[in-house]
Amino acid sequence: MSRDKLLTLSDVANRAFYDGNFEKALTLYNEAIQLHPTNFILYSNRSAIFFRLRYFHQSLADAQQALALNPKWAKGYLRKGNALRGIGEFDKAIFAYCQSLAIENEIETIDTLKDGLCYSSIKNHLSILLNKIGTDINGVKLNAFLIISIIGQEYLITGYITEAITLLQLALDMNEANVASLSSRLSVLGAISFAYYQQKNYQQAIKYLDMQLEISELEKQSTIYSTIVRIALLNDETMLAISYLRKQIQLNLSNGMEANYLRLNLADLYIQLGDYQHALQIIASTEPSTFRSILEIVKLALAKSDSEVALTYCKRLEKISDTVNEKLFATLLKCKCLLLRKETVIALKILQNTTVNFENGEITTEIIGQYFGTLSECYLAMGQYFMARKWAKKELKIAANTGSLKLEADALKNLSNIYQAIGDYLNAVILWNKYCGIISDQGVDIRLNGLRKLAELYQKLNRSNEAEMALLKNLKLAQKIGAYALMIDSHSDIYQFYRAMHKKDEAKKYWNEAQQIYLEHKVEERQALIVEMSGDNYFDCAFYEEAIDAYNRCLMLVQEDDNLPKEAKVIF
């Protein structure tokens, strides 16, 4: 093909374009493209002609073809933006203009961008700074990174999250981002992290918070760690949360900052995971006489089913309580310990004799609701179902008035337990299902136990498919949490479910997987459970001597751990 002919065609076409003879220019560019179909500039110029002729879709197609041939062609993005604007895709047009600006900071692009913003979703929220885009300061153009990041943050502020993310990511991908001021980079990283958080894309949110950590000053790092821990827990990544919480504790200790509260948070997470040894070690390293530290000891004792130790420390909680709310909370906790010890009458008398004026403005409605809930538990334990239901409904009413999901969950649990006690499993499972649906912000131990109980209730109704779904959901949650002990527990639950259903092949699959996790990750705290499962497996295969041997070894292990409920189960 003749290069001279192509140049001649282009020159004549350009003159026709500038003279306003767009049809002639289009005809000439059609001929030029036939001669040179891989020339991105020709497609870009024809896109401009189509735009002037108001053939916006054809204009967009040519702009995209130009960019396919040369992705670094700034003017191609400008043409694309114009075409998108022509078909009414104003926010997509803004992104295209910003893509052009990211390659070349040209006055034409900035002017077009400013004009396009007036038609975008943020047109009514443009700040003074946005109105100054494109203004030269002492002859120097504003930084493209700054312009794009500002626009991205404007989209974020006005609730256009997806658009904000694409613009902020574009800004971060620019070379200018590497030489931008520390405050500017932190601002963009914080904005994109928050945007992903708004989308509930927690992994991406943590990714950008991590990037903030690398460049943040010391005083901001602890706050960022707290945010990452909170987001990781929202995403059910408890082991990840523990990892960052440990780093935060180390940061605080290394710089002489308070870490006691953080340590207790860490202990609480280990209690939720059933890792009681680590929890105890951490609690022992904290200040021993604070309300929070003693509360964690009570939680640990209750988790281990050691009601005697829990009761002892509840009494200490009462003594060191500084406020009426703390004192009442400690009393309620003590009553729960007494209920576990089957000392129901004593618990009820304590509640009835608790001289609390609920009209006192110091008493929170949350505590009052908990008081009603504990009364319900007492009456249920005594078999007085009418009274149990009365107080559970009072608790539910307070929950509805205050919007407390925690109280609502507790009330639903109490009501479900009442229906279970009278053998009405249909209503029990309806209420328990609602309970499981509103405890997503509670501890993982509560949620896992909730799903197990839901499966049990479905089994009582012979709804095995729904029971299976609840157990599989439980396993999925345990896997996401990342704690191997909990994964073994969940595998064990499904194993026992399939055993009861006489599905030997399915049961064996989960037994093998549980054993593999135990061996690969050396999960010593689940040794007794693995040995018990092996006994069950031997029993199902009619190897009775081996089964008895396994059960005896399991019994020895649980006796060493002083686990009375487990010991009773094995003996039975």
- For the chain, 572 residues long, give each residue's pLDDT as a single digit of tens: 466 667 777 778 778 888 888 898 888 888 888 888 999 999 999 999 999 999 999 999 999 999 999 999 999 999 999 999 999 999 999 999 999 999 998 888 988 999 999 999 998 877 665 566 656 555 445 689 999 999 999 999 999 999 999 999 999 999 999 888 899 999 999 999 999 999 999 999 999 999 999 999 888 999 999 999 999 999 999 999 999 999 999 999 999 999 999 999 999 999 999 899 999 999 999 988 899 999 999 999 999 889 999 999 999 999 999 898 999 999 999 999 999 999 999 999 999 988 656 666 678 999 999 999 999 999 999 999 999 999 999 999 999 999 999 999 999 999 999 999 999 999 999 999 999 999 998 999 999 999 999 999 999 999 999 999 999 999 999 999 999 999 999 999 999 999 999 999 999 999 999 999 999 999 988 999 999 999 999 999 999 999 999 999 999 988 876 555 554 455 44
Q: H/E/C letters for each residue in 534-552?
A: HHHHHHHCCCHHHHHHHHH
For domain 9-133, give the CATH superfamily: Tetratricopeptide repeat domain (1.25.40.10)
The full 3-state SS of 207-235, as one line of letters, equals HHHHHHHHHCCHHHHHHHHHHHHHHHHHC
Could you say which DSSP state residue 180 is in? S
CB of 67 within 8 A of CB of 74? no
3-state secondary structure of 274: coil
Tell me what percent of the chain is helix, strand and coil, each rounded to the nearest 5: 80, 0, 20
pLDDT attached to residue 559: 80
The letter for the amino acid at 490 is S
Asked if residue 526 lies in contact with residue 488, where contact means CB atoms within 8 angstroms, the answer is yes
> Which residue has 């399991």 as its token pair?
554
Q: How far is CA 237 from the centre of its chain?
A: 8
Per-residue pLDDT, 134: 57
Q: What is the pLDDT of residue 140?
A: 47
Q: What is the 3-state secondary structure (H, E, C) of 460-491?
A: HCCCHHHHHHHHHHHHHHHHHHCCHHHHHHHH
Which pLDDT score is estimated for 129? 55
Distance of CA 399 to the CA centre of its chain: 25
Residue spans per domain, the chain: 9-133, 470-571
Select from 182, 177, 123, 110 the least CA-distant residue to 146: 177
Would you say 383 and 348 are in contact if contact means Cβ atoms under 8 Å apart? no
Q: In the numeric block, which tokens belong to residue 191?
A: 């904005």
- Cα–Cα distances in angstroms (integers) from residue 218 to residues 187, 190, 212, 224, in the given order: 16, 16, 11, 10
| The domain defined by 470-571 carries CATH number 1.25.40.10 | yes
Domains 9-133 and 470-571 share a fold: yes
DSSP sequence for 361-419: TTS-HHHHHHHHHHHHHHHHHTT-HHHHHHHHHHHHHHHHHHT-HHHHHHHHHHHHHHH
Rounded Cα distance between 275 and 402, Å, is: 34
Task: Kindly calculate the radius of gyration of the chain based on its CA atoms and give it in whole angstroms.
Answer: 33
> CA-CA distances (angstroms) from residue 284 to 108, 271, 443?
67, 14, 22
Q: What is the pLDDT of residue 127?
A: 60
